[in-house]
Structure formats: C-alpha cells, structure tokens
Amino acid sequence: MTDHHGHPPLAHIWSSDQPLFARLRQIMAHPSSVKLIKYAGVSVISTIVSQVTLLLVFGVFRLMSEVPANILANVLATIPSYTLNRRWVWGKGGRSHLWREVVPFWVLSFIGLAFSSLAVWLAGDFARDHGLSHAATSLLVNAANLFSFALLWIVKFVIYNKLFHVDPVEYEEHHADKMAATSDSSTAAGA
C-alpha cells in the first residue's frame, strides 16, 4: 500500500523491520515529513523576523510600548510567513484566492496575534509591578511572544492532527469491515 506518489504510509515505514537508520531516512524523505520540515523552517524565519522587530522597536529604540510593538512585529512576520508557506511549503503559484487562502491565513494569524499580545501585555505588566529594568522587561516581553507562538504552534499541530489525521491502515480496515457488513446484509436480504 502506498500514498503520496508511491511512498508507503509513515506508520508502515515506522513499524517495518528495517534498521532504525533506514526507517528514519525514509521518514525524513517522505513528502509529509518534507512539508512539515519546510513548515517548521518558515516558522523559524517568521519567528526571527518578529523577535528582531520586537527587540529593536520595543527593547532597543523604545519607539512604542510592548503591545503595539508586538502587533507591528507579528504583522511584519506574517507577510513572509504567508508567502513562504504558500509558495515553498505547499508549492502554490499564481494569484492567491482571497476566501480560500488569504482570509483563513490572516484569521489564524490574528488569533495568534491576540494571544501573543495578551502574553506580551501580561509580561510587561509583571515587569512593571516588579520594578524590572527596561532590558529585563524587553527580554521578558520577547520571551512571552516566543512562548505564546510556540504554544500555539504545538496546539494547532495537535488539533489538526486529531481532526484531520486518518491512519490509512485503520481507514482501510474500517472500510473493508463496512463493505463486508454491507455485502453480508445484501446477501441475507436476497436469500
């Protein structure tokens, strides 16, 4: 049994009798793994953009308070994130579809922005309440931003995995059982 252009399902690779190194090499080369690695790479790039922007705008130059700086940092990071995810991770070219691509991406981005802004505000409030220096506050604010997006990234991965993951073996076994039951009932009805 194969999926993804001749590649066996990841569950079959992992449970095979091949040596561990051979299985790991196959898993890393699998299209699903490559897509996940690319997605993680884009996340690293967008995280660097947001962290550097936040550090410079809030921490170094003190151009604005932590929440507006967080908003600016994340909006700037969302632009390369969208472009790289669309073109590099999912291999799509041409014009973006507003309702199927742009709107859902920005809705999820704004949910992340709201969550990170709350975390950044709480970090800034904590720092002010405890009399921390601006340098310490800046580090705490950056850490809150980073932690909030790391937590969201993991949560989204877990939710999507639970909602959309169908093990091909389980699906085929369920489908075969369902077909056998249908066949048995139609045979019994015809008798």
Q: Which residues contact 142 (CB under 8 A, 6 or more apart)?
A: 51, 54, 55, 59
Q: What is the pLDDT of residues 123-154, one digit of tens each?
A: 999 999 999 999 999 999 999 999 999 998 88
Where do the structural domains in the chain lie, given as residue ranges? 10-183
Q: Taking residues 90-116, what's their average pLDDT?
A: 87
Work out the percent of the chain whose per-residue pLDDT is above 90: 49
pLDDT value at residue 130: 98
What predicted TM-score, i.e. pTM, was given to this entire model? 0.76
Residue 7 phi, psi dihedral angles, 5° rounding: -90, 135
Per-residue confidence (pLDDT) for residue 185, from 0 to 100:
52
